[in-house]
Structure 1
Amino acid sequence: MVQGEATPQISRVQDKGWAWVVLGATMVVHGLTLGFPSCIGVFFKDLQRDFHASNSETSWFPSIMTAVLHAGGPLCSILVERFGCRMTVMLGGLLSGVGMVASSFSQSIIQLYLTAGFITGLGTCFSFQAGVTVLGYYFVRQRALANALASTGVSIGFTLWPLLSQYLLDEMGWRNTFFMLGGVMLHCCVCGAVMRPVRTKQPDPSLKSSHGHLAEDTHLSNGNTLSHEVHRSKCDTCIQTLQKYLAFDVFCKNKGYRIYTIGIAWMVMGFVLPMIYLVPYAVLNGVEERKASLLISIIGFINIFMRPMAGLLSGLKIFTGRRIYIVSVAAAFNGLSNLIIAISAEYSAFVIYCVVYSISMSVLGALIFQVLMDVVEMDRFSSALGLFTIVESITILIGPPLAGLLVDLTGHFSYVFYTSSFFMVTAAMFMGFSFCTMETKKKLTESHKPTPEDPSRGRYTEVPTELEPEKNGSPAVVYVTSI
């Protein structure tokens, strides 16, 4: 392809035509992947009974799945660069389906950790994050709208997965249900197939790889020089790869990013607990199984409407520079809502809890990564997101098993929701007070400098989330994920 031909090809598909087909496929992928863990609580008691496992042992299965879903981001980015979004989404769908089908034959809870936990979690990660990435190629002017519409797929998944899972569980048992769900997950391959790659500007073929020059030059040198140069090249490549996908340097230098990463990592230890333990807790308190699974669907249904609304309202000028405080208030609100069913286990209390929980969850889902864009420069956002999701996945992994261990020791499910409240409220206080203190110190420092060289230096300010297209017409890709 002659250099310069890509520009009209790109402009033909951006924000119109086939781009909306890709958006529809991405919505389905969101529902199949990020919405899938919402149905795990439906199988909790059956798995616990058949494998003779404790609450802590059983909760490792959804913990591993959700942790891998978040932690696989850097590996997914490498696959996208090497094979493209289309192949990565299809590979993810294949892994998800194979993992769930294999889990239907599991003879121990350990095997379930590997199949439904690790393999399915990795597959959902590949499909989800590559599906979001492809929107960056197909949408430029309407990218915010596209991401908002795609995220509604998660809410639809939250609504439908528990109902479907409960129906199949009642009809054919958990093993046959897992087998059927594996077939459903294979639909990610169909969605990936419609994500046709957008042709971008090709590099100049006259430019040779620096590694090629290195190999050619060092071939003429002596053996010691060759070994030294190759070793140094490998070290440099390793450091560059870490900086590209894991922003350790940003974590050390950017105080706002450091506070936010630690606060969210602490918060999610409590945030994921209700989605796993709500159904078994309701069943334990005499709620019929179908009515218990309907509680998760209520949360998802409200999310369908509340999440886009929260995203639109947060974009108002009055909230500019204050989104971190909205997230902190929503986290505290979410944590305190757990006290509703910790105190009362009536079904009406469960319904009220789901409504309150869903509203705060919608705000967190809409803003958690938007705030990350506010505190990190966009040219380092993808690498900052990689480190952010890996740290987040560690606490997601250990949170539910620790809560399960608490239930095994005390015999009271209500302690799970007290624990969730503790993590959510303390994380909200940490983030809110830390950012407030940081801004106050910066203002005091600047007030003592009558003529500062750069008044905005070091302050928590909004970073533009819209990137201008490059001069050659290629859109800049923004990596965005959502809860």
Structure 2
Amino acid sequence: FHCCCFLISILLLQQVKMPPLLARPPDGGWGWVVAGSAFVVNGLSYGLLRSLGLALPAFAEYFDRSTQDTAWVSAIALAVQQAASPVGSALSTRWGARPVVMVGGIITSLGFILSAFASSLLHLYLGLGLLAGSGWALVFAPALGTVSRYFSRRRVLAVGLALTGNGVASLLLAPVLQLLLDAFGWRGALLLLGATTLHLTPCGALLRPLALSGDPTTPPHSPLNALGLTLFTHPAFAVFALGTTLVGAGYFIPYVHLAPHALDLGLGGYGAALVVAGAAVGDAGTRLVSGWLADGGWIPLPRLLAMTGALTGLGLVAVGLVQEQEEEWGGTLLAAAGAYGMSAGAFAPLVFGVLPGLVGLGSILQATGLVMMLMSLGGLLGPPLSGFLRDVTGDFKASFLFCGSFILSGSFIYLMLPGALPRCHSAPPPPTPPPEQGELLPSPESTLASPNDPHSIPNTTC
């Protein structure tokens, strides 16, 4: 099967030629294949990373180390994947997303295969943490950025489809990984996961290049331009970056501390697992709905981003306000966690869907990588702060309330984005002066945004 996948990859690479220049994204066609490829990429990166925690007890028992020591395996992989995402975007800007994602798939697979022969926990830090994390950093941002380049009217729906790979893979890979651990041990399981992650390579081969009229004519010559750090000089992106960093400080708290919070409230192990599952199902279920709503154009995308962000923060506050549970299955906490999951799932595709309207399609790959890095900065701040507040107060109530305030603060900052607040009226275009005798009327410039594009930001004033 792997030979067939690589044969398909080679055949696709042999068809690489200079793509025709398009005035606007095709908004479909091969773009749905790209969205399906990004769906698998998301599942084999974030979905697998979320399921990897099932192997940590086996690592702790074999190497006779504490749970805290083995937890660094997943922590290093997540930190490297998030923080190094701008590198993957920069390489894709220079050489294209297709070869970068294919190489990233090979690196990720090597990380798992080499870790199967680990003789110490340090080898797992280097193999799963550093090597596999670096491979994941090369695949996610380029794949998701390519999806945004292929779509206009249905962009957020396509991004939401790609992001559902996380939830679907988490539900499927968790029981499969546990079965592999029981049948083959952790070494055999890592070998089989290495073979599975190798499928990232044919997924990268499906990312056919696309040339748009808004793309830069020459590749960036300096590392600063390749990383896209100059985007921070744009006021709209700077506002978005600040809001995203604050949101990231609270967004990942339930991933780490929702289950311990449920246990503190008196729920058993199965009750806590049900609460976590309820949040995950709500998260996965609303991503496509959010994309459909955003692409409908009924609500401006920046305003919808601020609204769903505020609902996410309120959901996190509701989780923190839940008192001790008398029911064995935690009905009140389950409802609050489900509400948080639904709002967080609706928020996720909008974060990436709003980027083309802020930076343009020519810089979407770089902007996607920077967003991943910003979320990682907030994610590194939130969970330790939540744990510190738990140690000080004795429960997670203050943790969820405080971190929910981070999300609300970031959502209020999103209101400063162009188009987030209603305007009084649209500013009329300046009149075209009459032509001189023998002079032709100037033709309008070809742009990527159009009145039919729901993600274009209108030029409106009060």
Q: Same fold (TM over 0.5)?
A: yes
Shift of 1:164: 2.4
Aligned to 1:105: 117
Partner of 1:231: none
Cα distance in 2 for partners of 1:303, 1:109 equals: 33
Is the partner of 1:347 in helix, strand or coil?
coil
Q: Which one of the candidate residues 246, 251, 255 is aligned to 2:228?
A: 246
Structure 1 residues 142 and 332: CA distance shift in structure 2, 3 A: closer
Of 82, 104, 109, 1:92 maps to 104
Corresponding residue of 2:244:
264
Secondary structure of 1:34's aligned partner: helix
User: Aligned partners of 2:261 and 2:63: how far apart in 1?
Assistant: 19
The equivalent residue for 2:329 is 347
Q: How does 1:71-220 map to 2 (within 5 A)?
A: 71-135=83-147, 139=151, 142-197=154-209
1:273 partner amino acid? I
CA deviations on 1:222-272 (whole Å, 9 max, x unpaired) are xxxxxxxxxxxxxx954xx31442335x53562x54344233223323322
Aligned equivalents of 1:266, 1:101: Cα separation in 2 = 37
Gapped regions of structure 1 (runs ≥ 5)? 211-235, 455-465, 470-477, 479-483
30-39 or 72-81: bigger deviation: 72-81
Query: What's the counterpart of residue 7 of structure 1?
Result: 20
Match of 2:11 in 1: none
Q: In the alignment, what sits opposite 1:393? A: 376
The structural deviation recorded for 1:96 is: 1.6
Equivalent residue number for residue 283 of structure 2: 303
- Identify the residue that residue 330 of structure 1 maps to in structure 2: 311
What is residue 230 of structure 1 aligned with on the other side? Answer: none
Range with bigger deviation, 79-88 or 276-285: 276-285
Query: Mean Cα displacement is larger for which, 277-286 or 351-360?
Result: 277-286
| Contact 1:335–1:421 under 8 Å retained in 2 | yes
Cα distance change of structure 1 residues 85 and 178 upon mapping to structure 2, 3 Å threshold? same
Taking a change above 3 Å as real, the CA distance of residues 320 and 266 of structure 1, as seen in their structure-2 partners, is closer
1:30 to 1:5, Cα distance in 2 relative to 1, 3 A: closer
The alignment yields a C-alpha RMSD, in angstroms, of: 4.5
C-alpha deviation, 1:359, in angstroms: 0.7
Kindly state the Cα deviation for residue 99 of structure 1 after the two structures are TM-superposed.
1.4
Deviation, structure 1 residue 375: 5.1
Structure-2 change in CA distance of 1:342 and 1:309 (3 Å): same
What secondary structure sits across from 1:189 in the alignment?
Answer: helix
Residues 5-62 of structure 1 deviation map (CA, whole Å, 9 limit, x = unaligned)? 8539x89x95666554443333222211232222134344444555555565444332
CA contact (8 A) 2:279 2:337 kept: yes
Please state how far the C-alpha of 1:307 moved relative to its aligned partner. Answer: 0.9
The aligned length equals 406
Q: 1:171 Cα shift? A: 4.1
CA distance in 2, matches of 1:176, 1:113: 18
Cα deviations by residue, 1:316-347 (Å, 9 ceiling, x for unpaired): 43445523431431231242243267844943
Q: What is the aligned partner in structure 1 of residue 50 from structure 2?
A: 38
CA-to-aligned-CA distance 1:400-448 (integer Å, 9 cap, x gap): 45656777x6796x54x7424422x222342344566899xx99xx9xx
CA distance in 2: counterparts of 1:70 and 1:76, whole angstroms = 10
SS in 2 for 1:467: coil
Q: What is the letter of the counterpart of residue 149 of structure 1?
A: L
The offset of 1:365, in angstroms, is: 0.8
C-alpha separation in 1, matches of 2:289 and 2:248: 23
Q: How far did residue 398 of structure 1 move? A: 5.1
**CA–CA separation in structure 1 for the residues paired with 2:272 and 2:147:** 36
User: For the residues of structure 2 that align with 1:342 and 1:173, how far apart are their CA atoms?
Assistant: 40
SS in 2 for 1:361: helix
Query: What SS does the corresponding residue of 1:317 show, helix, strand or coil?
Result: coil
Give 1:62's aligned residue. Answer: 74
Partner Cα distance (2:361, 2:211) in 1: 23
Q: Which moved more, 1:357-366 or 1:312-321?
A: 312-321
When the two structures are superposed, what TM-score results if normalisation uses the length of structure 2? 0.70
Distance verdict in 2 for CA 1:436–1:94, change over 3 Å = closer
Whether 1:361 and 2:344 are equivalent positions in the alignment is yes
Distance in 1 between the 2:388 and 2:298 partners?
45
Q: Is the 8 A contact 1:86 1:196 kept in 2?
A: yes
Shift of 1:80: 2.4
Using the alignment, how far apart are the partners of 2:181 and 2:321 within structure 1?
29
Indicate conservation of the 8 Å contact 2:108/2:197, yes or no.
Answer: yes
Give aligned-pair identity as a percent. Answer: 26
Q: Is the 8 A contact 2:88 2:141 kept in 1?
A: yes
Asked whether the 8 Å contact 1:59–1:400 carries over to 2, the reply is: no
Quick check: 1:70–1:389 contact (8 Å CA) kept in 2?
yes
Within-5 A mapping of 1:325-474 = 325-339=306-320, 343-344=324-325, 346-349=328-331, 351-373=334-356, 376=359, 381-397=364-380, 399-400=382-383, 414-415=395-396, 418-423=398-403, 425-434=404-413, 467-468=448-449
Instruction: Answer whether contact 2:157 2:291 (CA < 8 A) is retained.
Output: no
Hey, what's the Cα distance between the residues in 1 that align with 2:193 and 2:276? 18
- Cα pair distance change 1:418/1:59, threshold 3 Å: farther
Structure 2 regions of 5+ residues with no counterpart? Answer: 1-16, 431-446, 451-455, 457-462
Distance 1:96 1:436, change over 3 A: closer
Deviation at 1:354, TM superposition (A): 4.1
**Other structure's SS at 1:105 match:** coil
Instruction: Output the amino acid matched with 1:246.
Output: G
Alignment of 1:277-288 (within 5 A): 277-278=257-258, 287=268
Structure with bigger helix share is 1
Q: Is the 8 A contact 1:48 1:55 kept in 2?
A: yes
d(CA) in 1 for partners of 2:354 and 2:28? 29
